[in-house]
């Protein structure tokens, strides 16, 4: 049978709620432990102009790759899709690259020397969550 069953949306929201809750708890504990103040929610936390330029370059390359991946996927529709051009893979790759750049820039230029440890630990924790979700068939929820 194709498509989603009637419980799909409930399971999806449950899974998203658990992941968001785990990330919030992890961030709160790590911030307190490292003594790093909380950043504004939807703000750009660039260490300097170079960081801003690199970050925006990564974002634009990611957007272009999403568009190119979409076009190639539509053209190849009957064939097997190319994994690294799938939107979820591109978002993870470019999000990870942006996080690595942020950690490096915080390591070199941030006022709080522990800020980069928080960013790096967030990347490791999120990677662990993604791998565990994939390896356990979404923790048996889906």
pLDDT at residue 28 in the model:
95
Question: Which of these, 68, 66, 67, 74, lies nearest to 90 by C-alpha position?
Answer: 66
Q: How do residues 14-37 score in pLDDT, each as one tens digit?
A: 889 999 999 999 999 999 999 998
pLDDT of 43 over the 80 cut = no
Q: Considering the chain, what is the average pLDDT of its residues?
A: 89
Separation in Å, CA 40 to CA 1, 37, 52, 91, 94: 45, 10, 16, 22, 21
Separation in Å, CA 5 to CA 12, 14, 71, 125: 12, 15, 29, 31
CB 47 within 8 A of CB 138: no
pLDDT of 141 over the 60 cut = yes
For the CA atoms of the chain, what is the radius of gyration? 18
Structure confidence at residue 108 as a pLDDT band (50, 70, 90): very high
Give me the residue spans of the domains in the chain.
8-37+46-140
Structure confidence at residue 79 as a pLDDT band (50, 70, 90): confident
């Amino acid at each position: 049978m194709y498509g989603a069953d009637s419980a799909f949306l409930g399971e999806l929201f449950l899974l998203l709620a658990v992941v968001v809750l785990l990330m919030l708890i992890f961030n709160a504990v790590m911030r307190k432990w490292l003594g790093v103040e909380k950043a504004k929610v939807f703000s750009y936390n660039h260490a300097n102009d170079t960081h801003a330029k690199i970050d925006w370059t990564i974002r634009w390359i990611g957007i272009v790759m999403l568009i190119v991946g979409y076009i190639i996927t539509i053209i190849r529709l009957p064939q097997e899709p190319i994994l690294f051009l799938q939107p979820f893979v591109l978002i993870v790759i470019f999000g990870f690259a942006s996080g690595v750049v942020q950690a490096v820039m915080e390591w070199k230029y941030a006022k709080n020397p522990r800020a980069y440890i928080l960013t790096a630990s967030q990347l490791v924790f999120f990677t662990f969550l993604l791998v565990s979700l994939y390896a356990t068939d979404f923790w048996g929820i889906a």
